[in-house]
């Protein structure tokens, strides 16, 4: 069912950053499409509804200081016509192309290599959900339409295979090439000035290991995985080797910082930047015949698993925050995948979600718990890692379970009450006090009088969560995405950027790094199309929070002839089901019915039948009358809280220049100086120190990154208690 819904993906998504596919690949799907279209003289497709903040982001054009420039690389293709795995199979059969039905992909012989080069290896992978393909032999990738085009060309011209080099004739733009070259030289500079840990004197190496709490990781393991030390900042460097030549494509720098005697904070930075860092760390060490793998959320965990068990292990590039589908072909060879994502509820939830993408039947999960810490801690504590992996539980659900099977889940919830309560807001402590946190799989209904500030408030509430790594998708049916992004960016910067245009790029660069996506719908939309798009986004970006602003605009007026309440009830039911089935929080903004001007809103004021408040886990009301003494002030009332029943109300202070409702921030934001280009190691030290600082947050949760950001401040940090 889940996959069936996913298969209906649509074109209507937009991202603030460029979610590029595997960076090492020589061809972009766009590039490939251009070529194939040219080959078979097909007119170009209609423009996709996908742009990045860099395109939407020229919010202050009126000043005349900037000119709009389309960034071709920022577009990401989504299937114009949703495809199903049945469609793909039928097409392949019609072309007499043999295929293997894999876990997440269909495997076919590559059309980019000659048969003498091993065509029976079935090395071309087609994602069953999106149709996106990857040839692992040549690293050619593209959309399902691209592949069909290629096959048509081959058939028409009677060719046995297509040369990938033909496709190379359409290079990236000069700007893209320069950007890539810059990143690569930065990677090479860091890599070449790093030293293998094994080259350090024993006492120094031991000191570093103590700093990172990896004293049990042997030199041999560090050497095997190519882990180095970047001396100036004492950062561990994890390499990303890839491409046909297995050359260095990127690095992840991890530095340790002692905040007090009890805790160590690890700061991470990647080059290329976070959003295009697609390293499955450990992949080069996996043998072609290996059929089992342990998937972890951190490079150090992979080192621990490999050393302690001898099993192949790979680490996800962005930890528990997402499993990008572009990595799925690389995991197809494994008959058994053990997901050991960490030691908390978030990692447990992530492992359940990822196992759906990987195919439930081959996945087993290590449940976090007292005796199941994360692998690196397990190794440090002398636990038997092989045993823990052996005891992992199958991911596939049984339809009927007994309490015996549930008791561990229940126990987990009892001992981790804080984590079970969800992600805490950093700007809204009062929301934490009442709701306890933001949880997956819930439905929040939010209402407030017309023009009272619903969009503005919920924008900040969602931004707060997004800055903490909650992957967010906006469905803004009333105001356009540029206006919405402008509101969010202002809230992010906490200041009027119109008056500080020189800071625009700084804040936009940081904002781009957030896991934030927008649906490009505007005005009335069919609920099925909206749900299909949401499913598609969940598959591609592991979305945790969807905001629908607002239900009335999405429904439009056309339903006036039918029972409007019944239609609304149906839609609310569909969102409820989506939230539960996709483990995704849905926030639904619904206008209230017309109330007397001097009356406060209540749960019963929500437009429509009682269905909305019945289905909702949380009901939030933006009050602007009576309850607050000062005119113009608002308060936020929670009238339903299914999690623990606490309800309440608290005042909101609106700041017109920053468009924020959260408490004003003390002190002025200052821009950090960007270190000059490094000439020698001393300067290099400054640079990487700055990068390390980039991922830290100050007490106000304001990211202090330099303009050349390399990491997502929200998701890049972790704190470990000794
Ligand atoms: N507390 C507030 N005090 C004064 N102005 C506010 C407040 N909150 C928001 N605004 C401003 O009011 C305007 C409308 O805000 P917003 O669009 O968020 O309201 P809304 O409730 O979502 O509107 P609608 O009912 O049309 O969907 C915006 O210009 C916003 O900056």
Q: In this structure, which residue's CA is closest to atom 12 in ligand 1?
A: 453
Q: For the chain, how many helices (H) and strands (E)?
A: 24, 25
Which one of 452, 550, 623 would you pick to mutate in the ligand 1 pocket, going by the greatest count of ligand atoms within 8 A of its CB? 452
Which residues, 6 or more positions from 636, have their beta carbon under 8 angstroms from its beta carbon?
A: 430, 431, 457, 620, 621, 622, 623, 649, 650, 652, 661
455 Cβ closer than 6 Å to some ligand 1 atom? yes
655 Cβ closer than 6 Å to some ligand 1 atom? no
Q: Is the pLDDT of residue 12 over 60?
A: no
494 Cβ closer than 6 Å to some ligand 1 atom? no
Q: Is the pLDDT of residue 497 over 60?
A: yes
Are the folds of 182-199+209-413 and 429-478+523-652 the same? no
**593 compared with 672, residue with greater pLDDT:** 593
Cα 461 to Cα 446: distance, rounded to the nearest angstrom: 12
Q: Is the pLDDT of residue 175 over 50?
A: yes
Q: In this structure, which residue's CA is closest to atom 30 in ligand 1?
A: 453
Q: In this structure, which residue's CA is closest to atom 29 in ligand 1?
A: 453
Interval 49-65 mean pLDDT: 32
pLDDT digits (tens, 9 = 90+) for 342-388: 988 889 999 999 999 999 999 999 988 778 899 999 999 999 999 99
706 Cβ closer than 6 Å to some ligand 1 atom? no
How far apart are the CA of 656 and the centre of ligand 1, in A?
10
Residue 556, Cα to own-chain centre: how many angstroms?
31
Sign of the alpha-carbon torsion through 269, 270, 276, 277: negative
Which one of 446, 447, 450, 453 would you pick to mutate in the ligand 1 pocket, going by the greatest count of ligand atoms within 8 A of its CB? 453
Q: Is the pLDDT of residue 64 over 70?
A: no
Q: Is the pLDDT of residue 682 over 90?
A: no
Interval 663-675 mean pLDDT: 42
Cα 111 to Cα 86: distance, rounded to the nearest angstrom: 21
Which ligand 1 atom lies nearest to the CA of residue 632? 3
What is the per-residue pLDDT for 9? Answer: 36
What is the per-residue pLDDT for 65? Answer: 34
Cα 197 to Cα 200: distance, rounded to the nearest angstrom: 5
Which ligand 1 atom lies nearest to the CA of residue 457? 18
452 Cβ closer than 6 Å to some ligand 1 atom? yes
Judge contact between 331 and 295, C-beta under 8 A: yes
- In this structure, what DSSP letter does residue 476 have? E
659 Cβ closer than 6 Å to some ligand 1 atom? yes
What is the per-residue pLDDT for 317? Answer: 96
Interval 55-67 mean pLDDT: 32
What is the per-residue pLDDT for 707? Answer: 28
Quick one: pLDDT band at residue 553, thresholds 50, 70, 90? confident
What is the per-residue pLDDT for 601? Answer: 83
Interval 433-458 mean pLDDT: 94
Cα 366 to Cα 347: distance, rounded to the nearest angstrom: 10
161 Cβ closer than 6 Å to some ligand 1 atom? no
pLDDT digits (tens, 9 = 90+) for 201-248: 988 999 999 989 899 999 999 999 999 999 988 899 999 998 888 899
Range with the largest mean pLDDT of 43-57, 156-170, 502-516: 502-516
Helix (H), strand (E) at residue 580: helix 564-581
Residue 54, Cα to own-chain centre: how many angstroms?
18
Q: Is the pLDDT of residue 29 over 60?
A: no
What is the per-residue pLDDT for 149? Answer: 87
Percent of the chain with pLDDT over 70: 75
How far apart are the CA of 449 and the centre of ligand 1, in A?
10
What is the per-residue pLDDT for 366? Answer: 94
Q: In this structure, which residue's CA is closest to atom 8 in ligand 1?
A: 453
**301 compared with 19, residue with greater pLDDT:** 301
Architecture, CATH, for domain 429-478+523-652: 3-Layer(aba) Sandwich (3.40)
What is the per-residue pLDDT for 638? Answer: 95
**Location of structure tokens 């080192």:** 303
Interval 293-312 mean pLDDT: 97
For helices 504-512 and 481-493, give the axis angle rounded to 10 degrees. Answer: 110
448 Cβ closer than 6 Å to some ligand 1 atom? yes
How far apart are the CA of 509 and the centre of ligand 1, in A?
27
Quick one: pLDDT band at residue 18, thresholds 50, 70, 90? very low
Q: Is the pLDDT of residue 97 over 70?
A: yes
419 Cβ closer than 6 Å to some ligand 1 atom? no
Which one of 446, 449, 455, 459 would you pick to mutate in the ligand 1 pocket, going by the greatest count of ligand atoms within 8 A of its CB? 455
Which ligand 1 atom lies nearest to the CA of residue 659? 31
Judge contact between 241 and 284, C-beta under 8 A: yes
654 Cβ closer than 6 Å to some ligand 1 atom? yes
Quick one: pLDDT band at residue 586, thresholds 50, 70, 90? very high
**419 compared with 500, residue with greater pLDDT:** 500
Specify the fold of 182-199+209-413. Dna Topoisomerase Vi A Subunit; Chain: A, domain 2 (3.40.1360)
Give the helix ranges, DSSP H, for 326-365.
345-358
Q: Is the pLDDT of residue 690 over 50?
A: no
How far apart are the CA of 659 and the centre of ligand 1, in A?
9
How far apart are the CA of 476 and the centre of ligand 1, in A?
15
What is the per-residue pLDDT for 710? Answer: 31
Q: In this structure, which residue's CA is closest to atom 25 in ligand 1?
A: 450
451 Cβ closer than 6 Å to some ligand 1 atom? yes
What is the per-residue pLDDT for 632? Answer: 65
Interval 321-331 mean pLDDT: 94
Which of 22, 41, 45, 27 has the alpha carbon at shortest distance from 167? 27
592 Cβ closer than 6 Å to some ligand 1 atom? no
Quick one: pLDDT band at residue 520, thresholds 50, 70, 90? confident
- How far CA 472 is from CA of 73, 115, 678, in Å, comes to 22, 45, 37
Interface pTM, i.e. ipTM: 0.96
Q: In this structure, which residue's CA is closest to atom 4 in ligand 1?
A: 632
Q: Which of 442-451, 509-518, 519-528, 579-588 has the lowest mean pLDDT?
A: 519-528
What is the per-residue pLDDT for 597? Answer: 62
Q: Can you give the residue ranges of every domain in the chain?
A: 29-45+80-171, 182-199+209-413, 429-478+523-652
Percent of the chain with pLDDT over 90: 47
Mean of per-residue pLDDT scores for the chain: 78
What is the per-residue pLDDT for 154? Answer: 85
Q: Is the pLDDT of residue 261 over 80?
A: no
């Amino acid at each position: 069912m889940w996959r069936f819904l996913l298969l209906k993906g649509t074109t209507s998504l937009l991202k603030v950053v460029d979610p590029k596919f595997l960076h090492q690949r020589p061809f972009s799907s766009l590039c490939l499409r251009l070529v194939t279209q040219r080959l078979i003289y097909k007119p170009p497709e209609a423009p996709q509804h996908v742009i990045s903040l860099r395109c939407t982001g020229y919010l202050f054009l009126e000043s005349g200081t900037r000119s709009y420039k389309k960034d071709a690389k920022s577009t990401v293709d989504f299937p114009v016509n949703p495809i199903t795995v049945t469609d793909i199979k039928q097409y392949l059969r019609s072309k007499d192309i043999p295929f293997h039905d894999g876990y997440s992909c269909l495997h076919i012989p590559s059309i980019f290599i000659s048969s003498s080069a091993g065509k029976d290896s079935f090395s071309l992978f087609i994602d069953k959900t999106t149709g996106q393909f990857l040839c692992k032999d040549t690293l050619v990738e593209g959309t399902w339409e691209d592949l069909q085009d290629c096959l048509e060309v081959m058939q028409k011209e009677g060719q046995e295979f297509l040369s990938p080099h033909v496709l190379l004739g359409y290079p990236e733009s000069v700007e893209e090439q320069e950007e890539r070259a810059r990143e690569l030289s930065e990677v090479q500079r860091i890599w070449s000035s790093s030293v293998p840990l094994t080259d350090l004197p024993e006492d120094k190496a031991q000191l570093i290991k103590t700093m990172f709490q990896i004293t049990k990781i042997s030199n041999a393991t560090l050497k095997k995985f190519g882990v180095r030390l970047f001396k100036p900042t004492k950062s561990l460097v994890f390499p990303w080797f890839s491409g046909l030549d297995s050359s260095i494509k990127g690095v992840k720098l991890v530095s340790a910082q002692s905040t007090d005697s009890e805790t160590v904070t690890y700061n991470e930075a990647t080059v290329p930047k976070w959003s295009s860092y697609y390293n499955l760390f450990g992949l080069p060490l996996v043998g072609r015949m290996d059929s089992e793998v342990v998937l972890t959320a951190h490079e150090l965990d992979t080192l621990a698993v490999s050393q302690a068990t001898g099993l192949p292990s790979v680490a996800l590039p962005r930890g528990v925050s997402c499993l990008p589908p572009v990595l799925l072909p690389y995991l197809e060879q494994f008959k058994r995948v053990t997901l050991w994502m960490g030691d908390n509820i978030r990692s447990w939830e992530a492992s359940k979600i990822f196992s759906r993408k990987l195919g439930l039947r081959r996945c087993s999960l290590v449940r976090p718990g007292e005796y199941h810490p994360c692998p690196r801690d397990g190794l440090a504590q002398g636990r038997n890692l092989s045993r823990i992996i052996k005891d992992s539980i199958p991911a596939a659900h049984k339809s009927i379970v007994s309490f015996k099977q549930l008791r561990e889940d229940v126990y987990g919830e009892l001992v981790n009450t804080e984590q079970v309560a969800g992600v805490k807001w950093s700007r809204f402590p009062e929301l934490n006090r009442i709701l306890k946190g933001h949880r997956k799989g819930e439905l929040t209904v939010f209402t407030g009088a017309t023009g009272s500030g619903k969009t503005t408030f919920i924008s900040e509430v969602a931004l707060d969560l997004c800055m903490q790594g909650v992957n967010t998708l906006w469905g803004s049916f009333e105001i356009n995405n540029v206006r919405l992004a402008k509101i969010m960016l202002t809230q992010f910067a906490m200041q009027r950027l119109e008056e500080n245009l020189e800071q625009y790029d700084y804040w936009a660069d940081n904002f781009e790094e957030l896991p934030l996506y927008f649906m490009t719908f505007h005005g009335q939309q069919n609920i099925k199309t909206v749900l299909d798009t949401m499913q598609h986004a969940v598959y591609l970006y592991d979305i945790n929070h969807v905001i629908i602003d607002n239900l009335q605009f999405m429904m439009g007026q056309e339903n006036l002839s039918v029972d409007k309440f019944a239609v609304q009830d149906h839609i609310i039911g569909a969102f409820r089901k989506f939230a539960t089935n996709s483990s995704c929080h849905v926030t639904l903004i619904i206008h209230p019915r017309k109330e007397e001007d001097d009356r406060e809103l209540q749960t019963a004021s929500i437009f429509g039948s009682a269905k909305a408040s019945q289905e909702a886990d949380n009901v939030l009301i933006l009050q602007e009358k009576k309850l607050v003494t000062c005119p113009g002030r608002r308060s936020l009332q929670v009238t339903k809280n299914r999690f623990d029943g606490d309800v309440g109300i608290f005042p909101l202070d609106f700041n017109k220049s920053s468009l924020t409702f959260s408490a004003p921030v003390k002190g002025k934001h200052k821009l950090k100086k960007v270190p000059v280009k490094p000439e020698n190691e001393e300067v290099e030290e400054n640079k990487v120190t700055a990068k390390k600082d980039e991922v830290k947050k100050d007490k106000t949760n304001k990211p202090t990154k330099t303009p050349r950001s390399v990491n997502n401040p929200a998701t890049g940090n972790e704190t470990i208690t000794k």
